[in-house]
Amino acid sequence: MTGPQPWVEGRLRAAWLRKDWPVIFRTYRNILGISQARLGQLIDMPQPHISAVENGRRRIMDADLIQRITEGLHVPEELGGAHRPEMSEWSPDSELRERISRAHTTGRADVRIADWIAHVLTEHRRAEDTVGGRELWPVVRSQLDTVTRLLPDTSGPVADRLLILAAEHAHWLSWVAHRDGHAGPALAWLDLAHGWAVDAGSADMAAWVTRVRSYYMLKHSDPKRAYKIAKVACQEAVGASPTTASITAHQASLASAAVGERDESRRLADQAYELALRTPDEQDRPNWLYWLDPVRARLHKANAAYAVRDWHVAAEGFRATLPELTGYPRDLAVYAARMQDAANRV
């Protein structure tokens, strides 16, 4: 893809779903760098009317006008429909499971829209790393609906690819729900993601989702369960990519430290670090593990040292590596606080 891609922008997609016309017009124009007059040409609306909409002096209610805007701004298919009430709910609905149960039948679906949605989800992951995912929640729910509606008309490798894409969406929704304090729905989305990963035969996605479950258990102060689940994730990672094996070993290292198995934790941390270095290039990692580069691998090793209370090793590891971490303000804050804590304990 060349040139600006306005409908990759999460804020614009979210604004479309809630029909926030001032934000839609301003955001679309800012992304493409066009004037109100040019926007008016695209949707057959006079420039003064564009200005009135952006300033909140005019509302857009007419169905024909909305259709002109939809066509003129080339709104993607998955956003073209009306906003569904269940988009505001945190938990997955039963219809998703029904669509999946009808997969692997005819193999006639046109999956070009899935390629586009996969591209958009990649951009949403990066946005969530920086600003969070609450605003993007209805957007990703809408995208997941589109992907699962394609499944009944697919079979073979195409169906497997769609199942993995659906699992990626379900995992993202789980992650955002968990960050927002919705533990039950977060686990429900993980269940869907893991089931779809198994259906697709994806060791990478299945192991990753199980690793996330272990992470949730550790965050909820249940280290014994986190330890057991992390072991399962490592087993599922056999035959998966080195990146997946690395992240599952790292989680097992943290869980081992939490139950007092310090030697095992150190061994797993070394293993995780060595595995991560095998895929220094982003294109060689699973889409959802794009961030596990050599810099993050060194931070993971420092974090494992912090977990087993090797304070000097942790402080030095964080201090040497944190200046290289860019684009992840929340993670930077967490690791910086641990570096300071470890240094104080030294």
Q: What is the pLDDT of residue 103?
A: 45
- Reported as a pLDDT band with limits 50, 70 and 90, residue 88 is very low
- Reported as a pLDDT band with limits 50, 70 and 90, residue 110 is low
Q: How far is CA 224 from the centre of its chain?
A: 27
Query: What are the pLDDT digits (tens) for 71-81?
Result: 899 888 778 65
Q: Is 88 exposed, middle or buried (0-12, 13-18, 19+ CB in 10 A)?
A: exposed
Between residues 71 and 202, the one the model is more confident about: 202
Q: What is the pLDDT of residue 58?
A: 92
Mean pLDDT of 293-303: 98
Query: What are the pLDDT digits (tens) for 122-142?
Result: 888 887 777 677 778 888 888
Asked if 211 and 232 count as a contact pair (C-beta separation under 8 A), the reply is no
CA dist., res. 335 & res. 319, Å (int): 9
Query: What are the pLDDT digits (tens) for 205-214?
Result: 999 999 999 9
> For the ranges 104-113, 140-149, 245-254, which has the lowest average pLDDT?
104-113
Q: How far is CA 114 from the centre of its chain?
A: 16
Average pLDDT of every residue of the chain: 88
